[in-house]
Amino acid sequence: MLAMLLLVGLAGCRWRPPAASVNGDEISTDDLKADIDMLRDNPELANLVVTAVPPEGEPRPADLTAQVLTMRIVEPMLADSYERSPKKLSAEDEAAQRTDLESQLLDALGGDQAVMDRIPDAYVERLVGRLVHSTVLFSDIPSEERPAAAQALFGVYDIEVDPKYGQWDPTNFQVVTNPVPGAVTPVALSLTAGGQ
């Protein structure tokens, strides 16, 4: 009887796997959806950080979901790498840099404080955090050396992505969408061209 109740209870829960995980810490599908919905409600910000988000009820392009999920995955990797870095800023310098970046964000949004105020504070904090962490970790590294530096920092993280959103590309540190069945890929085109 108890087993039957548990089965019925589990069937009613509609458990969904996480969208992704970073070293076992889950990023829920609700977190991913919340970010996409927030960007839909704030098109000015969406145009800065990703491509345009379609209106409610329209299908979301797979590459949009992959971009937003990539940002969600990169955030904890940057934050953890920053915490462990000897280049970490003092509390005062970090606060000053965050204030400066928030001001730059306001400028990038056209200087409209009402637009800035519509963006949840938690998202602004995450966005500014990503910028602070990446600037501190990489700005003093020559551009040609940054891929190797990123590999040294981020290659140690175990990233899992729900296959319905794509897969993790450990070389470029991003979620890549699954190819559409039957689609002609650039590789296929180059092979065809080479065979003529």
10-residue block means of pLDDT along the chain (196 residues)? 46 71 96 94 90 81 92 96 93 95 94 94 95 94 93 93 94 85 43 41
Six token digits for residue 104: 């730059």
Q: What is the pLDDT of residue 50?
A: 81
Measured in degrees and rounded to the nearest 5, phi and psi for residue 126 equal -65, -45
Our CA angle for 155, 74, 157, nearest 5°, is: 30
Per-residue H/E/C for the chain: CHHHHHHHHHHHHCCCCCCEEECCEEECHHHHHHHHHHHHHCHHHHHHHCCCCCCCCCCCCHHHHHHHHHHHHHHHHHHHHHHHCCCCCCHHHHHHHHHHHHHHHHHHCCCCHHHHHHCCHHHHHHHHHHHHHHHHHHCCCCHHHHHHHHHHHHCCCCEEECCCCCEEECCCCEEECCCCCCCCCHHHHHHHHHHC
**How far, in Å, are 8, 66, 137, 151, 154 from residue 69 at the CA level?**
32, 5, 21, 19, 16
Rounded to an integer, what distance in angstroms lies between the CA atom of residue 137 and that of residue 157? 16
Among 3, 34, 135, 144, smallest CA distance to 78 is for 135
Q: What is the pLDDT of residue 107?
A: 95
Q: What is the pLDDT of residue 180?
A: 55
Q: What is the pLDDT of residue 185?
A: 42
Q: What is the pLDDT of residue 76?
A: 96
pTM of the predicted model as reported, rounded to 2 decimal places: 0.80
